Structure 1
């Protein structure tokens, strides 16, 4: 795989601004509620002008897209980083444990934001659309990664493999987000066997009979 060109300082700063706005938006959504929070409130709290906010995000719901995207892309990239000798199913499981395991402060924060936002998305079609876009982007990354591992073009089988694996992990994460709130589980990792990694891995287990490329 060819090396990616370095990211310019300007792009890094833009990405940092986008992420700062996203974290600010998520905090306000949790504190004040999605409906009560305006884009102008997010801009003020993030220390940017409203016109700057709208230059980055067309709606208040889309302002949390970087948080969804970071988590969704992290697991697809973890598949890329899995040991080359692993089969596709084992590489997927390895990636789930690596990306969704709660072992660092950063992972705890990321999962906590995602859980809160997914809980809100139950009652917000706009927020569900932002999550769906992030999952679709992750699926496309995974398709590329599986193609690299299989040394194959993007065939129908490969596209299906990426789609079913992405759906399995998405269902695991969504189930954890909703069910952990329902039982009042405050820990981002969830109860034993009910955390995001465990549930996602369980969903992947249902795909063992799939004819992986």
Structure 2
């Protein structure tokens, strides 16, 4: 990180490389399955050496983590940049729906890769870790947006509930035949789950 808190150019390049490897791994996993795909195949298809691959990821399953995490990162960023005049619940729901709405063909392809990845039990550990990281990022942003003195337990519960809402929505969609947009889509399920799981939390009535 730079002194401004923004990623440095080198960090952005590393993040871009990790995401490109993740897309390659997701495509191979979708085509052949996780078990039949090797780390060497992911590296060769990505145009990097196996040694470089292992600089970024410890095992082949971890290679898809950046792709699975991309939506959550965008969600938290959108929430952090949302209007300070909105109640927290509304700001978070709007941000979640926007992050779950594919904006182009590449985003739709990534959503379908996500569906394939979530259906593979070998990636459960990676998926759970991705959401644990997302919860921590959301918790930090909530802490920054809430008035000084806000109960930290309420912030933690809110971050956990909101993150669980997104996880459940994506998992429900992944094991259905619903499209990436429209009825039964991640954005529709995300909004519904967000309202259900965060209802009754006092924190959501706050204006940031």
TM-score by length of 2: 0.88
| Aligned counterpart, 1:178 | 175
2:145 aligned with 1:149, yes or no?
yes
What pairs with 1:62-77 in structure 2 (closer than 5 Å)? 62-77=62-77
| Aligned counterpart, 2:187 | 197
Deviations 1:29-67, CA, capped at 9 Å, x for gaps: 111111100111111111111111111111000011110
Q: Secondary structure at the match of 1:14?
A: helix
| Aligned counterpart, 1:138 | 134
Deviations 1:59-84, CA, capped at 9 Å, x for gaps: 00001111012112111112112221
* Mapped partners of 2:96, 2:86: distance in 1: 14
What pairs with 1:75-94 in structure 2 (closer than 5 Å)? 75-94=75-94
Q: CA deviation at 1:152?
A: 3.4
Tell me how many residue pairs correspond in the alignment. 200
Q: Secondary structure at the match of 1:179?
A: coil
| Aligned counterpart, 1:210 | 201
**Larger deviation: 35-44 or 75-84?**
75-84
* Mapped partners of 1:210, 1:193: distance in 2: 27
Runs of 4+ displaced beyond 3 Å: none
Segments of structure 1 that go 5 or more residues without pairing to the other structure are: none
| Aligned counterpart, 2:114 | 114
